[in-house]
Structure 1
C-alpha cells in the first residue's frame, strides 16, 4: 500500500526535478554566454551582472570609475559590459593616441548613439559614419573654418570686438551679483553664430536667449543631467522610466535647436548669392550647387545637423570652460595677482589681447591649461566603433566593438601628471619660466574625430579670459565660494551655478 502511494507521486517528483534541472541548465547557459569574451586576447575587465552589465557599479562619474578600475586591476586598455554590449575603454594618453591617431582607420567609425541618433541618425559630421564621404566633408569644413572662420588675424578681430561688447554689457550688470555662467553662453554663442549662421545678436535678443537657454539645458538641467549621462553610455535605458521622461525632454530640446537651424537654412536659401559667401551655411549651399563631389550628402537634414553640431559644441565647450576658469580663480586667488600682472605688462588696460604675445603670459596660459586638464568637459568623449578586427597594445579588438576614449583618464593619469588631482598650474612652466604646451592634455580629443573648433575654442579662452581680467576684479558674491569639486555631471561636466561681483579696474 505504501509503495503504491509513493509510486503515485513519481511523476510529480520527476516534474519537479526536471524543472530545477532546466532552471539550472538555463542559469549555466546564461552564465556561460554572459562571461565568455569575444576573443581570447580581448581586453580584461568587469562583466557586471547579466543584462545590465556594469551599470549598477557606476557612481556619478563613470570616467572616474573606469580610470580607477584601470589603475587598480585591468590596465590602460580594458573592457566592460555596458548592458549587453562589449565596450573597450582606453584610459591613458598612450592608449588613446595609439588607437585614434596611429590606428585611426580602424577606430574612427561611430556606433548608433541613442541619445543623438534618434532624431538625426548619422547626419552631421560628429555622428557621420567614417569613410571617404566623412573625410571629404571634414576637409570641406576645416577649409572653410581655416579660410573664412578662424584665420588667426580675422578671428582675433572678431573675438576682441565681441569681447569689448561683452564687457560693456557686463558693466550694466555690475551693481549686483552676476551669473557669468549664463552670460558666457551668450558670448560664445555669438561667436559661433557669426561663423556658422552669418549673424550677430544683441545680448537682449529674446529669440537668441531662448535658443541658448534651451541649448544650455540640454546637459545641465538638474532633473536630467545624471540620466542624460547614463543614456549616453547605455542607450537601452532610454526606453524605461524614469529615463524615458528624460529622453523625451532631451529630444524636445534638440528638435527645437534643429528647427532653429532649419529656419536659418531657409533664410539663406532665399538670399543665396554665389558671389557672396559669408558663413558656413552659404559655403554648404555653394557646394550643393557647384561642388564637384556629387556623391556627398548636401541635404537640408544633413546641413541642419551639421549646424547643430557646430552651434552646440562651439558654444557649450568654450562657455563651460570659461565658467571653470572663473571658479578656479575664485578658489585659488593666489594666482590672480600673477596673472593680472602679466596681463597689465603685456596689454595694459586698453590693449587688444593677441595670441602672438602668449610667451609673455606663462602663468595665464598655464592656468588655462591646468583648468582644462583637471576639468575634462566631455570625460568619455563621443563613442567610437571598431570598423575591423585589429590588434591594440597586445589585445584583439573585434569589429563592431564600441570604443570609449576616457579623456578624463588621460588628463588625470598619475604617470604623466604626478598628484593629478592637485590643481597646480606651475607644472606647465619650465625652469626658465616659459609655458609648456602639452599634447597629452586632450580636451578636444585626437585623431580623425578631433573637434573641428579646437583652434577657435583655444583662441576664445585666451582672449576672453584675458579681457575679463583686464577690465574687472572678479569676487565671489556669496560665502562660502562654491567648491571646484561640486559638479553637474552629464555628457558634459559643468560647474554648479554661482554668482560673482565685478569691480571695474579702469
Structure 2
C-alpha cells in the first residue's frame, strides 16, 4: 500500500509537470515575436511585463534601453509603444489612415457594447470605421452650432468665470483646495453645450456625477485598469477596485439617461437647444438598422464629451496654479501683461489673446509640463507596415507616447524645466511649436481642442487678473503628479488674495 501511494504521488507530480510544461510551450508559441518585430524587455510567461510597467515613468527608461519604437507584453496582449516627436508624427500623421482605428478593449466592451451589434459605441474612444466617422462629424457640427468658436460661448464662459471668482472669494483668504471649484466651473461649460443648462456648485447630483467621472478615470489608468485589460476573463470575476470603473461609469450613464428623458418631454425637433436635442432629432431620420443614433449611444456620447471636456481642462488649471505659485516671478509677469492689455475692470475675450503673447506662452508651457494625457489612446494597425525600420503586423495595438513628445530633448531647449520661453521668439512674440501635441494629432486628435483652448485662455486670464495665488511660506508644491487616465496633481491647498 505504501509503495502504491508513492507511485501515485509520483504520477500526479509528473502529470502536473507535464501540464505546466504544456502551458509554458503554448504560451511561448502563442507569443512569439514576428521577424524584425520591435524589441522590448524579456516577458515572463503568462503575465508578460505587467509587473514592471507600474513604475512612475517606465516608458522613458524602456525608450532609452530599446529605442523610440519598442514592444511590451501585458498578459496575452502585446503593445508597440512609439516615442519621440518624429516617430509619433509618423504614426499619427504620416500613416494616419493605417492607425486611425481603436483595438479591442475589454473595459469598453464590458459597459458599452450594443447587444446584437458588432461595433462599440461612443464618439471619442471606442467606435471605428464609418460609425465613428459619422458620430465625430455629427459632434463637431453640433458643438459648432451651439457655440464652439463663437462669441455666445465666450459670453457663457465669462459668466462662469464670475461664478468661479465669487466662489473663490467666499474662502476669504483662507487656504482651500481648488480642484473642486475648477471641476465645477469647467463642467458647467460642457453642461451648457450638451444639456443646455448649468448647475449650481452645490447641486448634489452634479457633484456626484463629477466624483464618479474622476474616480473612473483614476482607476482606469491605474494598475487595476491595466490588470483588467490584460486579464479580463479573470478580473471580471474578482472583487477589487477595478469594479468601481464600471459602477462609476454606469452611474454617470444613468444621470445622462435621466436628462435624456427630460429632454424628450419638451423636445421641439425644429428648434434643438443643445447636443441632446440635436441627437434626438437626428434619431428621427436614422431609424434603419445598423445606425448608431440610438438612445443608448446618446448616453455614451454624452459621457465621452464629459470625459474629454471636463477633467483635462480642470486639471490643466490646477497645474497652472502649481507652476505659477512655484514661479512667483512668472505670475507677476503675466499679471503685468494682463493689466497693461486688459486692465482689471473687464473680463478677457479671445480677441485679447494675440495681444498677450507672454500669457499665451505660459498657458502652453503649463500644458506641456502638466502633461495631462501622458499616453494617447491605443491605435490598431489596419495593415502590415514599418515604423523606424521595424515590422508592425496587421492588428497590432500601437500606443503613441505623448509624454515623450512633450519632453523630447531634440525638440525642447530645456525639456524638464518650466520655461515659457519655449513658446516665445527673441522679440517676445508667441511661437507655435510642432512638437506641442497635448491634444494628439491626425484624425483622432481631440475633438474638443477648440473648446479647450478657449476655456483655458479665458479661465486662466480671469483667475490671474482677479487674484494673486500663493501657498504656505516655504512650501513648494509637488509637480510629480498622480498617473491615471489623466495625470493629476497631488492634493494641495492655496491662498487666493484679491488684487
TM-score over 0.5 (shorter chain): yes
Partner residue in 2 for 1:278: 273
**Contact 1:190 1:201 survives alignment (8 Å):** yes
- Seen in structure 2, the aligned counterparts of structure 1 residues 22 and 244 have a Cα distance that, compared at 3 Å, is closer
Please list, as runs of the form range in 1=range in 2, the aligned pairs for 1:197-236 lying within 5 A after superposition. Answer: 197-220=195-218, 226-228=222-224, 230-231=226-227, 234=230, 236=232
1:97 partnered with 2:57: no
**Rounded Cα–Cα distance in structure 2 between residues aligned with 1:173 and 1:114:** 44
Shift of 1:78: 1.6
Partner residue in 2 for 1:495: 489
What are the Cα deviations for residues 331-360 of structure 1, in whole angstroms up to 9, with x where unaligned?
111201111011111110022212222232
Partner residue in 2 for 1:353: 348
The structure whose Rg is larger is 1
**Contact 2:470 2:495 survives alignment (8 Å):** yes
Shift of 1:452: 1.0
**Contact 2:28 2:45 survives alignment (8 Å):** no
What are the Cα deviations for residues 266-314 of structure 1, in whole angstroms up to 9, with x where unaligned?
1111111012211111111111113598752111111100000111221
**Structure 1 counterpart SS, 2:365:** helix
Partner residue in 1 for 2:257: 262
Shift of 1:381: 2.1
Please list, as runs of the form range in 1=range in 2, the aligned pairs for 1:257-406 lying within 5 A after superposition. Answer: 257-290=252-285, 295-406=290-401
**Contact 1:178 1:501 survives alignment (8 Å):** yes
**Contact 2:382 2:394 survives alignment (8 Å):** yes
1:170 partnered with 2:162: no
Shift of 1:237: 8.7
- Seen in structure 2, the aligned counterparts of structure 1 residues 24 and 321 have a Cα distance that, compared at 3 Å, is closer
- Seen in structure 2, the aligned counterparts of structure 1 residues 388 and 350 have a Cα distance that, compared at 3 Å, is same
**TM-score, L = length of structure 1:** 0.89
- Seen in structure 2, the aligned counterparts of structure 1 residues 301 and 178 have a Cα distance that, compared at 3 Å, is same
- Seen in structure 2, the aligned counterparts of structure 1 residues 428 and 214 have a Cα distance that, compared at 3 Å, is same
Gaps of 5+ in 1: 1-10
**Structure 2 counterpart SS, 1:86:** strand
**Contact 2:225 2:242 survives alignment (8 Å):** no
**Contact 2:188 2:199 survives alignment (8 Å):** yes
Shift of 1:404: 0.7
**Rounded Cα–Cα distance in structure 2 between residues aligned with 1:449 and 1:116:** 17
Partner residue in 2 for 1:77: 69
**Rounded Cα–Cα distance in structure 2 between residues aligned with 1:235 and 1:415:** 37
Partner residue in 2 for 1:464: 459
**Structure 1 counterpart SS, 2:460:** helix
**Contact 2:286 2:293 survives alignment (8 Å):** no
Shift of 1:175: 3.9
**Rounded Cα–Cα distance in structure 1 between residues aligned with 2:360 and 2:81:** 30
Shift of 1:19: 7.6
Please list, as runs of the form range in 1=range in 2, the aligned pairs for 1:408-423 lying within 5 A after superposition. Answer: 408-423=403-418
Partner residue in 2 for 1:68: 61
Shift of 1:393: 3.5
- Seen in structure 2, the aligned counterparts of structure 1 residues 78 and 151 have a Cα distance that, compared at 3 Å, is same
Please list, as runs of the form range in 1=range in 2, the aligned pairs for 1:116-265 lying within 5 A after superposition. Answer: 116-121=108-113, 122-220=120-218, 226-228=222-224, 230-231=226-227, 234=230, 236=232, 239=235, 244-265=239-260
**RMSD between aligned alpha carbons?**
2.8
**Contact 2:224 2:241 survives alignment (8 Å):** yes
Give the one of 106, 109, 123 matched to 1:114.
Answer: 106
**Rounded Cα–Cα distance in structure 2 between residues aligned with 1:400 and 1:217:** 31
**Contact 1:231 1:238 survives alignment (8 Å):** no
Shift of 1:216: 2.4
Runs of 4 or more, structure 1, over 6 Å off, are: 14-21
- Seen in structure 2, the aligned counterparts of structure 1 residues 28 and 271 have a Cα distance that, compared at 3 Å, is closer
**Rounded Cα–Cα distance in structure 1 between residues aligned with 2:228 and 2:27:** 27
**Contact 2:167 2:181 survives alignment (8 Å):** no
**Structure 2 counterpart SS, 1:246:** coil
**Rounded Cα–Cα distance in structure 1 between residues aligned with 2:228 and 2:379:** 12
Aligned length: 486
**Rounded Cα–Cα distance in structure 2 between residues aligned with 1:15 and 1:234:** 34
Shift of 1:169: 2.2
Gaps of 5+ in 2: 1-6, 114-119
Give the one of 468, 472, 494 matched to 1:473.
Answer: 468
